[in-house]
Amino acid sequence: MIAEVILNSNAKQLNRVFDYKIPETLASKIKIGSRVFVPFSNRKEPEEGFVVNIKENSEYKLKEIVKADETEYINEKNINLSKWMARRYFCNVSDCIKLMLPPGTTTKIIENRVKEKNASFVYLKKDAEDIEEAIENKKIKSEKQIRALQFLLENEGVIVTDLEMFADVTRSVLNTLKKNGYIEIIEKQVERNPFVNKNIKKDKDLILTEEQQNAYDTICEAIDDHLFSEFLLFGITGSGKTEVYLQLIENILKQGKTSIMLVPEISLTPQTVDRFISRFGEEKIAILHSKLSVGERYDQWNKIREGKAKIVIGARSAIFAPVSDLGIIIIDEEHDVSYKSETTPRYHTKEVARYLAKENNVPLVLGSATPDLDSYYRTQKQETTLLELNKRANNARLPNVEIVDLRQELQEGNKTMISGKLHKAIKENIENKKQTILFLNRRGFSTFVMCRDCGNTIKCKNCDITLTYHASTKKLKCHYCGYEISMVKECPECHSKNIKHFGAGTQKLEEQIKLLFPEAKTIRMDIDTVSKKNSHEKILNQFKNENIDILIGTQMVVKGHHFPNVTLVGVIAADSSLNLDDFKANEKTFQLLTQVAGRAGRENMPGKVIIQTYNPDNFSIECSKKQDYKLFYNTEILIRKQLKYPPFCDIIVIGINSENEQEGNRITKNLHTYLKNRVLQENLGIILYKGMPAPIDKIKNKYRFRIIIKCKFDDSMIGIINDVLSEYQKMKESKNIKNRVIIDLNPNNLM
């Protein structure tokens, strides 16, 4: 017998099958999906690969498979999904297979792992980019060191013994890496059980409201029909969507089947998970997200694979959990951008979920208070069934939203970040022992530093991005590449000492709040305060339990948390997301403001929201004041239609990155010319834009160009893009400058 094998490599030219003979001795072991080792070209060691097909004959003279795994990790269905994804998202099949393998096994599959209570964790000490560069430039030569680093690049915070096993290295290799400043080793308690220290009360089903019951019944009919169907559960914040999910999952559980419940990475806090544990108990639940250690993820993965966990709760990649008896897929906060992968493979979780739900004849339920415009549009075209929850489940009233015009504040001489109205409301709240959340979509102390004499702003030398001032370290930092310098005392251009901070971030806001309300206890949550495992949860718990008056934060405070005592939410500047160079700017602003507003007055106390803005007349701000999604949708969908933007077309971005500006420009021009000729010759009905530098035209010393196409994404378009990629392969053969071409289908943004 002959096996078709895909090598585990991300090299484009290896993205095809190779035929190998299956030796007699391995015949019983090898199936579609088996992991095998094969001789390849003139490489010394056998290469790892996966069997994607088995057949009788081959036209070539063949080498034999050397070795095969006992355990079957993936199956034919996984292979088919991988092929489908590779085609749709223009990546290698092996890139997709990796998403479905047990965590940590891309380097080596381990069966029996050591369990420990206290352990040393290994963290990378340098940026991923620097490490990749050191490997590429042969600054690090040792295979073993490279293996260890590559493993760490994929898995943050690994226990030393795990790393030794998974990457197959010895302690002395790690010691060398430590000595050379690549890694650090930190002593910490092991939490192999992510549910550790949980003492959760058992809780029972609530009696559903009429709206909830109607949604539940409609979805249950689909479950009973054993047919694929898609639902959009559109319910304002606090309308009881989660209760509907819980009861649906209970129904699936009774049938002995497994549910996949996806939530955005950032809201995968124990608060969310607790609600599921208290309903179903932790034995039946597995959780998967990137903050777990690789060992924990491995255990959770196994629990699912062995069929012990019947409820999988996780972020984006949990859609690939090894479930064999799928009963339902639920995607909460379905509008969240984290459902689109921004690295290879650049997949859309909803599309993969749809594929799996169809394959298994089960329902797909999307839930949101502010649905993705595309999801709502699908309900209008009857592709998705719309289920609405218009009332708050526990009769809590929607908060009262007020808009404050910051231009007027400025005219009246208020130079702080807090308007008169917001100031008064915060003061009242502190006196009444109620809690306040202040939201600002910028971290750092102030966004940028500018010379008041010549107008020069201080930018990153690698990225052409304005540097951000961080007060705690007194440094200017680039948010893209991590480049940092000490705060400048004079303008590098004109040497004036008249340097001023402009704009304001969360740190500065916290400082002002402490000055304005010295009696208040505050806590701040942003990327800078949330980094090591669990500290996200710690901050939220502290806020909830320790009489803290004010939580100051970025984006992170927005997602699905439930704080009964929060009655006031202040949005410091609603404009930051409006000024993006992006057709989704209005949608993002509306979603963000509505989600923030939803944090106020979740129980019987009325909530108040104050939105400060320089653009009080913008319709997305007006609609969020009214908390009126449909009004927003009806306005925005017309604009999209007129300007021909999604959902009325698909957008493909061909991104060209190059070390060399001229070279990047040349490739971009050539690819554009190639496409233009095809469009003209074949009369293709697509809109092709000229190749251009990207809005952020340099990141980490790579020049960035892009070609944007508006089209209907279908088989013929896939063919055309693949032709473009072959053109590129031909073009770059002559040069030894490093370039990269990335295809992104319907990306989150066009930056």
**C-beta of 429 vs 658, nearer to Zn ion:** 658
Q: How far is the CB of 239 from ligand ADP (least distance, A)?
A: 4
Tokens for 486? Answer: 């000490």
The one segment of 1-9, 192-200, 234-242, 491-499 that binds ligand ADP by CB under 6 A: 234-242
Rule CB under 6 A: say whether 102 interacts with ligand ADP.
no
Give the residue ranges of DSSP H helices in 68-170: 76-89, 93-100, 128-136, 143-154, 160-166
CA distance 15 to 435: 55
For ligand ADP, the binding residues in 356-395 under the rule CB under 6 A are 393-394
Residue 242 site contact among Zn ion, ligand ADP, none (CB < 5 to 8 Å, cut-off depends on kind): ligand ADP
Residue 478 site contact among ligand ADP, Zn ion, none (CB < 5 to 8 Å, cut-off depends on kind): Zn ion
User: What is the chain's percent helix, strand, coil content, to nearest 5?
Assistant: 35, 25, 40
Residue 241 site contact among Zn ion, ligand ADP, none (CB < 5 to 8 Å, cut-off depends on kind): ligand ADP
CA distance 206 to 250: 12
Rule CB under 6 A: say whether 212 interacts with ligand ADP.
yes
Other beta carbons within 10 angstroms of residue 358's beta carbon come to 14
Are 481 and 416 in contact by the 8 Å Cβ rule? The answer is no
* SS3 readout for 251-293: HHHHCCCEEEEECCHHHCCHHHHHHHHHHHCHHHEEEECCCCC
Are 338 and 318 in contact by the 8 Å Cβ rule? The answer is no
Residue 451 site contact among Zn ion, ligand ADP, none (CB < 5 to 8 Å, cut-off depends on kind): Zn ion
**C-beta of 281 vs 492, nearer to Zn ion:** 492
> What track of x and - describes contact with ligand ADP for positions 392 through 431 (by CB under 6 A)?
-xx-------------------------------------
Are 593 and 402 in contact by the 8 Å Cβ rule? The answer is no
CA distance 661 to 433: 58
Are 243 and 393 in contact by the 8 Å Cβ rule? The answer is yes
Single-letter amino acid, residue 306: E
**C-beta of 477 vs 559, nearer to ligand ADP:** 559
Total number of residues that touch ligand ADP (CB under 6 A): 15
The one segment of 22-30, 87-95, 404-412, 473-481 that binds Zn ion by CB under 5 A: 473-481
Rule CB under 6 A: say whether 240 interacts with ligand ADP.
yes
**C-beta of 397 vs 461, nearer to Zn ion:** 461
CA angle 9, 12, 14 (to 5 degrees): 55
Residue 208 site contact among ligand ADP, Zn ion, none (CB < 5 to 8 Å, cut-off depends on kind): ligand ADP
Residue 26 DSSP label: G
> What track of x and - describes contact with Zn ion for positions 479 through 518 (by CB under 5 A)?
-xx-x-------x-xx-x----------------------
- Whether the bond between 39 and the residue before it is cis, its omega within 30 degrees of 0, is no
> What are the Cα distances from residue 590, in Å, to 159, 586, 587?
42, 6, 5
**C-beta of 75 vs 278, nearer to ligand ADP:** 278
> What are the Cα distances from residue 685, in Å, to 525, 711, 713, 714?
48, 7, 11, 12
Rule CB under 5 A: say whether 713 interacts with Zn ion.
no
Rule CB under 6 A: say whether 241 interacts with ligand ADP.
yes
> What track of x and - describes contact with ligand ADP for positions 577 through 606 (by CB under 6 A)?
------------------------------
Rule CB under 6 A: say whether 253 interacts with ligand ADP.
no
Single-letter amino acid, residue 43: R
Rule CB under 6 A: say whether 208 interacts with ligand ADP.
yes
Q: Which of 97, 102, 99, 98 is nearest to 113 (CA)?
A: 102
Residues making up the chain, counted from first to last = 751
**C-beta of 240 vs 503, nearer to ligand ADP:** 240
Residue in 107, 239, 259, 522 binding ligand ADP, rule: CB under 6 A: 239
Tokens for 485? Answer: 């310098």
The one segment of 149-157, 205-213, 474-482, 701-709 that binds ligand ADP by CB under 6 A: 205-213
For ligand ADP, the binding residues in 608-627 under the rule CB under 6 A are none
Single-letter amino acid, residue 465: I
Residue in 92, 106, 155, 237 binding ligand ADP, rule: CB under 6 A: 237
Rule CB under 6 A: say whether 209 interacts with ligand ADP.
yes
Local structure of 680: helix, strand or coil: helix
Residues that bind Zn ion (CB under 5 A): 451, 453-454, 456, 460, 462-463, 478, 480-481, 483, 491, 493-494, 496
Residues that bind ligand ADP (CB under 6 A): 206-209, 212, 235, 237-243, 393-394
